Amino acid sequence: MGSMRLLVLGGTHHVGRAVVEEALARGDEVTTLTRGVSGPSAPGALALHADRTDPAALRAALGDATWDAVIDTWSFAPSVVLDSASLLADRAGHYGYVSTRSVYEWPPAVGLDESGPLVGGDARSTEGSDYAAAKRGGELAAIEGFGAERTVLARAGLILGPYEIVGRMPWWLRRLERGGDVLAPGPPDLKLQYIDCRDLARWMLHAADEGLSGPFNTVSQPGHATMASLLEAGIEATGSSARLVWTPPEVIESAGIEPWTELPIWLPPYGEALGMHTGDVTKVYAAGLTCRPVRETVADTWAWLQAEGDPPARPGRPAHGLDPEREREVLAGLAGG
Ligand SMILES: NC(=O)c1ccc[n+]([C@@H]2O[C@H](COP(=O)([O-])OP(=O)(O)OC[C@H]3O[C@@H](n4cnc5c(N)ncnc54)[C@H](OP(=O)(O)O)[C@@H]3O)[C@@H](O)[C@H]2O)c1
């Protein structure tokens, strides 16, 4: 497989880096386009540099080259996607936009498929601060600039795996490494739905090969992993002696601990967020998605942390993780009955 000429808009972080590495591994010819401020592209890729918010600079950097497919990781102002997609419409055969399940109206229903109600978005907007609206605008921009019949919208949910700069799995791994009693948010059999960046990358390349189009919820089946299998994989990967203290969701809630951010990945198995780990993925599995086991995702994320160190804090974005003192208080409360 693989001998396409691929342009990755992005390519140095989590999803983009995985796309570049997967494509190179299968023999594709890869070009990346970044500003060049967040690190080099993988060896073997041709690295072009421009600020995409400046269409003239983008045009100059791309020259008159052509590609079989483009994969775009942009997550800010939709107008930037519109500029790129329009510029590339006559120069490439396929456009894969890394979108998100956040484009569905909140709260997402349990079992929501691609026909779910969407937030508003504007392909021409130069505003990127409302994430859901910016991503929906990005979808519309990709379609308007490139054509719906040649554009895939990969609506990813939670993305894990190596190079995760958001810091969710990295936080859990460092916490488990520290050992001792670890507040494990229950129930242990809580079903999780996520995608390893490398499985997302592989599927997006497959979508380009096959000329797929339209929206796809690109995440695992609900329950591909559970809270217990994820954390146990973390203990195994880190070689930690940590003891998981399973803590009921109600206890976490009454302690005022924020799901998702203070306890990354975890959401209580009730309430508005229930749809987050229970989306319908029939369409993407029928279109060839395969998801590797959670142990592999966790072990490889740990190996990456060991090799390259922790991801830097992202300015303007919330840090993830629970303050150790608060964790101790809640665990002491549990022990005291
Ligand atoms: N994390 C999740 O759980 C999750 C879930 C659903 C969807 N998503 C989506 O997944 C995507 C993540 O993409 P990613 O992992 O590849 O990471 P990213 O952090 O979005 O990567 C941004 C890339 O674009 C480049 N870039 C940034 N500003 C630029 C500019 N002005 N001009 C040109 N290039 C620029 C960066 O390189 P330079 O800095 O060197 O320019 C970098 O390579 C996003 O679209 C996000 O919405 C994420």
Report phi then psi at 318, rounded to 5: -70, 145
100 touches ligand 1 (CB under 6 Å): yes
Cβ–Cβ < 8 Å for 133, 125: yes
Residue 158 — pLDDT band, cuts 50, 70, 90?
Answer: very high
Of ligand 1's listed atoms, the one at least distance from the Cα of 53 is: 31
* Ligand 1 atom 24 nearest Cα: 10
Cβ of 55 below 6 Å from ligand 1: no
pLDDT in tens, 59-78: 999 999 999 999 999 999 99
- pLDDT tens column, 105-133: 999 999 999 999 999 999 999 999 999 99
Nearest to 191 by CA among 99, 107, 285, 294: 294
Q: What is the pLDDT, as a whole number, of residue 337?
A: 61
| Residue 12, ligand 1, Cβ within 6 A | yes
Burial class (CB in 10 A: 0-12, 13-18, 19+), 250: exposed
Identity at 245, one-letter amino acid code: V
Interval 159-190: pLDDT, tens:
999 999 999 999 999 999 999 999 999 999 99
* Whole-model pTM over 0.85: yes
Q: How far does residue 11's CA lie from ligand 1's centre (Å)?
A: 8
State the CB neighbour count (10 A cutoff) for residue 332. 10
Q: Which helix (H) or strand (E) holds 49?
A: strand 46-49
Angstrom distances, CA of residue 296 to CA of 126, 292, 307: 39, 7, 16
